[in-house]
Structure 1
Amino acid sequence: MPTQPITSNSDFNERQIKRIFYRRLGIVIWVSFLVAAAQAVVFFAQFDPAYLNEIASITISIGRWQGYALGFVFFWSFNFITGLLCGVVMALPRTKLAQKTTHK
């Protein structure tokens, strides 16, 4: 399978390229959501958001539910950015040095 980006492939029209992009974006969003949910469960099983608010150096009053929500949004955004960057790197074309060479 070639590693050229999908935008330069002549086998797909523009509508198909958009559908492929949105499908891949949806996969990244959904997987990052599920992983963030698992991370939030594990993290908040160990640490109480109310206690973290007490020991924090910032003087913002955040309740327990707001702490859960902020933690989940942090985990989700971190996982989304990680998945997005992995997808971008995988979609980059191969360089001439990385292409397979035939040895005689």
Structure 2
Amino acid sequence: MQSNKAGRLRLLGSTLWPSFLVAGGASGIFFASIDPEMLRLETVPGLELSRMAGYTIGFFMFWMVGLASSLLTILLLGPGEPSSRRQ
């Protein structure tokens, strides 16, 4: 039972952490050249959002894209080799 819990934690860590790092980098690069306030005015002028809300929404969108990428990679790798072969 403990092995299953450790496997889930490992899976969680191997998807959330890399996608978080990618989101941080992507947000930094994206928002270095694009102001969220100007982006809001160009796309949805009727919506009132602060600049900080724009940064936050952008970060979480980048994080979800990175998470989807990490999950797809784990899905394509398939199950690991049986523990009896690791010895």
1:39 pairs, out of 3, 26, 48, with 26
Aligned-CA RMSD value:
1.7
Q: What is aligned with 1:61?
A: 48
Give the letter for the 1:35 counterpart. V
Q: Alignment partner of 1:23: what SS?
A: helix
Give the letter for the 1:46 counterpart. S
Q: CA deviation at 1:34?
A: 0.6
2:7 pairs, out of 15, 20, 43, with 20
Runs of 5+ in structure 2 lacking a partner?
Answer: 81-87
1:88 pairs, out of 50, 67, 75, with 75
User: TM-score scaled to structure 1, two decimals?
Assistant: 0.70
Instruction: Report sequence identity in percent.
Output: 31
Q: How many positions carry a matched residue from both structures? A: 80
Considering only CA atoms, is the larger Rg found in Structure 1 or Structure 2? 1
Q: Which runs of 4+ in 1 moved over 2 A?
A: none
Q: CA deviation at 1:92?
A: 5.3
Runs of 5+ in structure 1 lacking a partner?
Answer: 1-13, 94-104
